Amino acid sequence: MNGRLRLALKLLLSDRGKFATLVIGITFSVFLMMLMTSMFFGIIQHSAANIINVGAKMWVMDPDVQTPQNAIPMPDYVLDAVRSIPGVEYAMPLYVGSGLVHLNNGSYQAATVVGLDDATLFGRPNLIQGKIVDIYRNDGFIVVDDGNYAKLDSPKIGTTFEINDHRGVITGIARVSIGGLFGLPTLYTTYTRATQDLPSTRYLTSFILVQPKSDGDVGPIEGAVKKLGYLAVTDQQFVQRNDRFYEFQTALGTNILIMTLISFIVGLSIAGETFYMFVLDNLERFGALKAIGAKGGELVQMIFFQSLVVGFLGFGLGVLLSSALIAFGKFRIPNYAAVITYQNLLLALGMVLVISVFSAYLGIRKVIRIDPFSVFRG
Amino acid sequence: MIVDVQKVTKWFGDEPARTYALRDVSFDVDFGEMLYIVGPSGSGKTTLLSVISGILRPNAGSVIVDGKDIWTLDSDALADFRLHEVGFVFQDYHLFPRLTVVENIAVPLILRRVDWDDSLQKARTVLGVVGLEDKADLPPQKLSGGEQQRVAIARAIVAEPDLLILDEPTASLDGDTGKKILAFVKSNILNERRAIIVVTHDERIYEYASRIVHMEDGRVTDHTGVG
């Protein structure tokens, strides 16, 4: 390592009290920022669970639908109209609703029910137990083994229950990549049975799942569906639409943003003030270095290095701490909605860099102005 | 001649509140000479020292060190000049309390981009010159005032500068220690390739001067040859 930077590091590490305060301040700030943003990304991801788990390339819905949880049913003719659009390879109906499950132990539990197209079962989950054909039994249901599985009393193959006073039997147990947001267990069945067993409005189709013939057909299909008075979006667009809803149309995004900003300001204040105090305490020494022959640029480099060391160390510890807490949370609560993505890592890193640069700037302003003549004044 | 100061004037503030710290100061210093600048407080000694060492820009006059008119240099070149040509012993030593003695001594070499380990090795050698080999790995605050002064001297000479500047070297020392330090500097540090300028008002150490420049109210009032 460059000798001047090593000297800077020694000066930084030797003032243990301030060094610890700086690292703890930034760690705490990163911890809070990571936790807040991880919760946000986790909630967003879980809220999009149906879109991700079903895995259709395109979704057709009522234009007022913002999330997969709040479908506005469409009349049956829309499915036929979509199937007739050039560029559509196939299109299947999907039912998403909720029902009240009466368990054998006498208790009731609300559940999300997904009705798959009877002919193709397009969008079905991966079974870990049971045979998919058994879903065609006149009372067959597949249960998803996620964080909410235990709420249905951890049913096995053959476990019976009642849903809206209709008999149901577990014929398969499945895994999905992401659990739902609202803490409800998920049951899959056929479209026909779902629409028969669950109370519904005049129209039944929640979504139409579309497979375009090619990527080039996506645009024309969107245009054709729009002419029908409905909305066609790709799965990514639907995820973004869902994200925007939670970010801007609920208090969730705003509150998380406020908490993240507060965490950032806390880190900025602690690190900025402590680093400034550190520079003030060492001002005489920086003056002596200047008198001996250190150039202004070299001192700036040393101070930047010190603030970046503290910043990266705090970032690393903060990420470690938040990861540990999230891992513990997921261990204790399987459906714990927090996820660390590269976006929130980058966001926290960016904010730490701002904190480091700001802290260094406060110190540099002071050091650049110090007159080495003052060293002679004693 | 290593230092040639010609008609240096330095003032602080603007008219009408302008204060003159130096007025038409001229003198020179030769290699192998230990020149004292003496005078009462406020006579301009420290200001003169700062001007000679490239820290404080004069309002008029010139300072030529080793053939270089230092006040024609830009700020980076001045920093290089201080780093390569001048060794400083500050009144309060300005040692880094959290570096070891040997690391403190190595600072000028580190600033000159000498490798860290080579710098420490050279610093240990110089520590031997000031007789503190056994204190190398202690923090400076564990040393006595006289020992700290020796560390400061070691730091000043580690890069082998031509000009050594000592600002009130006995101010923080008792009489005996002060005299011992100056005797040591004269016998061990001063040589024919180096000049030393000492600013002091401590008459007890005048006996070690080669020559004394007396100052009062920013003016040189007398030159005294001592021996």
Please, which residues have CB within 8 angstroms of residue A197's CB and are 6 or more apart in sequence? A99, A113, A163, A164, A166, A168, A189
Residues of A with CB below 8 A from B120's CB?
none
pTM over 0.90, yes/no:
no
Which of B96, B116, B171 comes nearest A11 by C-beta? B96
pLDDT(B7) > 80: yes
Q: Would you say domain B3-225 falls under CATH 3.90.230.10? A: no
B92 CA: distance to closest CA in chain A (Å): 6
pLDDT at A233 over 90: yes
Q: Which amino acid is at A114?
A: V
Spatial contact of A133 and A124, defined as CB atoms under 8 Å apart? no
Arithmetic mean of pLDDT, B120-124: 93
The verdict on A1 touching B (C-beta cutoff 8 Å) is yes
In this complex, do A378 and B91 lie within 8 Å of one another by their Cβ atoms?
yes
pLDDT tens-place string over residues B160-172: 899 999 988 887 7
pLDDT (mean) for A274-281: 83
Query: Contact at 8 Å (CB) between A23 and A308?
Result: no
CB contact set of A350 (below 8 Å; sequence gap of 6+): none
> Is the CB of B111 less than 8 angstroms away from the CB of A375?
no
CB neighbours of residue A60 within 10 Å: 29
Which among A6, A288, A290 has CB closest to B90?
A: A288
Render B65-95 in DSSP notation, one character per residue.
ETTEEGGGS-HHHHHHHHHHHEEEE-TT---
Q: Is B111 close to A294, i.e. CB distance below 8 A?
A: yes
Catalogue the E-assigned strands of chain B.
Answer: 3-12, 19-29, 34-38, 60-65, 68-69, 86-89, 163-167, 195-200, 211-216, 219-225
| Closest-CA distance of chain A to residue B76, Å | 6
The verdict on B168 touching A (C-beta cutoff 8 Å) is yes
pLDDT of residue B159: 87
Per-residue pLDDT, A333: 76
Asked if A224 and A22 touch (Cβ cutoff 8 Å), the reply is no
Distance from CA of A291 to the nearest CA of B (A): 7
What ipTM goes with this model?
Answer: 0.86
Instruction: Name the helix (H) or strand (E) containing A13.
Output: helix A3-14
**A44 C-beta neighbours (distance < 10 Å), count:** 24
Question: Could you read off the pLDDT of B207-221 as tens digits, one per residue?
Answer: 889 999 999 999 988
* Side chain identity at residue B81, one-letter code: F
Q: Do A291 and B75 touch (CB under 8 A)?
A: no
Comparing A281-285, B52-56, B174-178, which segment has the lowest mean pLDDT? B174-178
Note the pLDDT tens digit of each residue in A306-348: 999 999 999 999 999 999 998 888 888 767 778 888 888 998 8
* Strand ranges in chain A using DSSP code E only, listed in sequence order: 58-61, 88-102, 108-116, 126-130, 140-144, 160-163, 166-175, 186-190, 207-212, 231-234
Question: Nearest C-alpha of chain B: how many angstroms from A281?
Answer: 11
Which of A2, A6, A15 is closest, CB to CB, to B98?
A15
B116 part of contact set with chain A, CB < 8 Å: yes
Residue B108 C-alpha, separation from nearest chain A C-alpha, in angstroms? 7
In tens, the pLDDT along A177-212 reads 777 777 788 899 999 888 888 877 788 889 999 999
Most confident range, picked from A156-160, A227-231, B93-97: A227-231
- 3-state secondary structure (DSSP) of residue B219: strand
Q: What residues of B are in contact with residue A368 (Cβ under 8 Å)?
A: none
Query: What distance in Å separates residue A294's CA from the closest CA in chain B?
Result: 6
B162 interface with A at CB cutoff 8 Å: no
Predicted local distance difference test score (pLDDT) of residue A343: 86
Do A174 and A189 form a contact (C-beta atoms < 8 A)?
no
* Buried-exposed string B36-61: b where 16+ CB fall within 10 A, e elsewhere: bbbbeeebbbbbbbbbbbbbbebeeb
Residue from A4, A285, A376, A377 whose CB has the most chain B CBs within 10 Å, to mutate: A376
Residue whose tokens read 């009372």 = A139
Interchain pair B82, A285: CB under 8 A: no
> Above pLDDT 70, what percent of chain A?
99
Between CA A102 and CA A9 the distance in angstroms is: 66
Q: Residue A370: its pLDDT value, please?
A: 84
**In B, which residues are within 8 Å of A369 by CB distance?**
none
- Put simply, the chain A residues between 250 and 309 with a CB less than 8 A from any chain B CB are 284-285, 287-298
Mode of pairing for the β-strands spanning A207-212 and B19-29: unpaired
Q: Which of B111, B113, B119 sits opposite A292 (nearest CB)?
A: B111
CA A45 to chain centre: 5
Tell me if A3 and B114 make a contact (CB, 8 A cut-off): yes
More confident residue, A60 or A55: A60
pLDDT number for residue B226: 61
Instruction: Give the closest of A292, A296, A376 to B46, CB-based.
Output: A376
Q: Which residues of B touch A2 (CB under 8 A)?
A: 113
> What residue spans define the domains of chain A?
3-46+251-377, 75-229
B147-to-A108, A298, A378, B106, B181 alpha-carbon distances in Å: 84, 30, 19, 16, 9
Find the CB nearest A376 among B50, B112, B115: B50
Of the candidates B44, B147, B202, the one whose C-alpha atom is nearest the C-alpha of residue A373 is B44
Helix, strand, coil share of chain A (percent; to 5): 55, 20, 25
pLDDT in the model for residue A236 = 92
pLDDT given for residue B110 in this prediction = 93
Q: What are the sequence ranges of the domains in chain B?
A: 3-225
CB atoms within 10 A of CB B224: 12
At A297, is the secondary structure helix, strand, or coil?
helix
Mind telling me how many Å the CA of B176 is from chain A's nearest CA? 22
- Tell me how far apart the alpha carbons of residues A351 and A263 are, in angstroms, rounded to a whole number: 10
Catalogue the E-assigned strands of B49-186. Answer: 60-65, 68-69, 86-89, 163-167
Residue B59 has pLDDT above 90, yes or no: yes
